[in-house]
Structure 1
């Protein structure tokens, strides 16, 4: 969820810069009024539609909101994001993302459940208690107990 006031300010600013009226945007005027007044949440789909109508990439809209919220320049935030994306790539994120897309949501959960169960069993074989296993793996005790 994006913060309401920074989102409202960014939407009003982009509309003013582009000379676009609320009626030219792809949303109910009542909803747009609430968005621009900082009274409503926004969905990812609406971000995409508004960004397209305002002639910017959705990520630009989100970056402007986040920079406003953080009180920093969009360039400073861009450096931070670039560092995070490099870290994502360095840690194998693209390959894992491809794997997740290939698996799909249901199958990905099943694979994660099987991996978690194997990790729990390995802790059990090492002689750890359920509580120690939960702490080591960052799981709840009830999750560990189900796979114990």
Structure 2
């Protein structure tokens, strides 16, 4: 089952369980848009998903867990337990500190300018270049697009 269809089923079931009509969720989304969601014909933005969860009286976490439960045909408790374990593992990797570094005074920090690239790909491309391979040969050997090889071809190991 697709996530769109799983969300559609969850929205329908939650609305039915709470005895709500589509029009009663108009503060969150229009009845037309809700109908489209409940047909599985659209995917809501995070903001709309949050507004829908509030209007339905459930947390966004519960709404997503129920949706994943439907999609994977697993109990919501299994979905949440797996998520809990993942969060614990991420915390051990220092995620809390990394998250705090992303926001300053309520604003997302800007990343440094420049195009991001994969260091391992750069090393492999430069190795091929040093071996005398052409960019096309390098792309074939490494399974990369020629445009990626072309971009990395001009870089130095320190990223300049």
Q: Same fold (TM over 0.5)?
A: yes
Q: CA deviation at 1:143?
A: 4.7
Q: Residues 142, 84 of structure 1: CA spacing in aligned structure 2 closer, same or farther, 3 A cutoff?
A: farther
TM-score by length of 2: 0.70
Which is greater in Rg? Answer: 2
Question: Residues 131-142 of structure 1 correspond to what in structure 2 (within 5 A)?
Answer: 140-142=148-150
Q: CA deviation at 1:141?
A: 3.2
Greater helix percent: which structure? 1
Correspondence list, 1:96-115, <5 A: 96-102=98-104, 104-105=108-109, 107-110=110-113
- Measured on the aligned residues, the alpha-carbon RMSD in Å equals 2.9
Q: Secondary structure at the match of 2:36?
A: helix
The aligned residue for residue 3 of structure 2 is 3
Aligned residues: 134
Could you tell me which runs of 5 or more consecutive residues in structure 1 were left unpaired when the two chains were aligned: none
- Distance in 2 (CA, whole Å) between partners of 1:104 and 1:143 is 28
In 2, Cα distance between equivalents of 1:20 and 1:85 = 34
Aligned equivalent of 2:153: 145
Tell me if structure 2 keeps the 8 A contact 1:100–1:108. Answer: no
Displaced runs of 4+ in structure 1, greater than 6 A? none
How far apart, in 1, do the equivalents of 2:95 and 2:88 lie? 10
In structure 2, runs of 5+ residues without a counterpart are: 130-137, 143-147
**TM-score w.r.t. length of structure 1:** 0.75
